[in-house]
Structure 1
Amino acid sequence: MSGMIAEADVLDALRDVIDPELGVNIVDLGLVYRVATGDDAIAIDMTMTTPSCPLGDYLKDESRSAIRRRFSGVGTIEINLVWSPPWSAELIREEGRRALGWPEEERKPGYSAWTPSD
């Protein structure tokens, strides 16, 4: 492989990985926390919506496959599941919120439908 792979290109490849429960890609769901690239390697830190999510191995395998399809010459692909910070719906990107059909006001960062009772 020649040249450095850009983080944006890796994120673009990971948009092909769809969470089968929600039908939205893992980038727009906010599951990808970090992408690091080197001469012959890509490292990714990602999380699940909950630590008990049974899709961890599946999404890691799908992510690895998506990267291999896009960057056939990369040598090492390291994908780590991390739990800090814990995932929350606030991490969902605008594209993900739109894909989930959230109304405009619910797509704003920090929005909460919960209101305290008197």
Structure 2
Amino acid sequence: MTPASNPPDEAALRAVLQEVRDPEIGESIVDLGLVESIRSSPQGVQVTLIPTSATCPMADVMIEDVTEALRRACPDGLPVDVQMDWDTPWSPQRLSPALKARFGW
């Protein structure tokens, strides 16, 4: 299969990722601020996530969940690459305004 000439744009991919839940917290990975970057091109989709802690025990599960969601949303044959950035620290400032309010941050 050849890569698609019209891959989904970043907004469409972010909407897909909005539905992916953190396996421990049960909230959207987008609202939690775990999506560091999304890149989409005819050559493929690349997403970088950051963990909420340096020892995140569910990182592999999150990578699998994101990869599966993106593969369902992307044209057949478009490569999907999801990586975890262990060097970028997470903080409550990354939360969406609604989660900040709900969590009291």
Give the TM-score normalised by structure 1.
Answer: 0.77
Q: Deviations over 1:75-107 (max 9, x none)?
A: 211111113331111101124335xx235xx4x
Aligned residue type for 2:69 = A
Aligned residue type for 2:16 = A
CA distance in 2, matches of 1:89, 1:5: 29
- Please say if 1:44 is aligned against 2:47: yes
Alignment of 1:82-97 (within 5 A): 82-97=85-100
Question: Which of 2, 10, 15 matches 2:13?
Answer: 10
User: What secondary structure is seen at the aligned counterpart in 1 of 2:63?
Assistant: helix
CA distance in 2, matches of 1:79, 1:49: 16
Question: Which of 60, 65, 72 matches 2:63?
Answer: 60
CA distance in 2, matches of 1:53, 1:80: 14
Give the TM-score normalised by structure 2.
Answer: 0.86
Percent of aligned positions with the same letter in both sequences?
Answer: 26
Larger Rg: 1
User: What secondary structure is seen at the aligned counterpart in 2 of 1:42?
Assistant: strand
Aligned residue type for 1:3 = N
CA distance in 2, matches of 1:36, 1:96: 25
Q: Is contact 1:42-1:74 (8 Å) kept?
A: no
Aligned to 1:76: 79
The count of residues paired between Structure 1 and Structure 2 equals 102
User: What secondary structure is seen at the aligned counterpart in 2 of 1:22?
Assistant: coil
Q: Deviations over 1:17-61 (max 9, x none)?
A: 101221111111000001111104000111110120111110000
CA distance in 2, matches of 1:31, 1:24: 11
Q: Is contact 1:28-1:92 (8 Å) kept?
A: yes
CA distance in 1, matches of 2:11, 2:95: 17
Aligned residue type for 2:62 = L
The root-mean-square deviation of aligned C-alpha atoms, in Å, is 1.7
Q: Is contact 2:38-2:45 (8 Å) kept?
A: yes
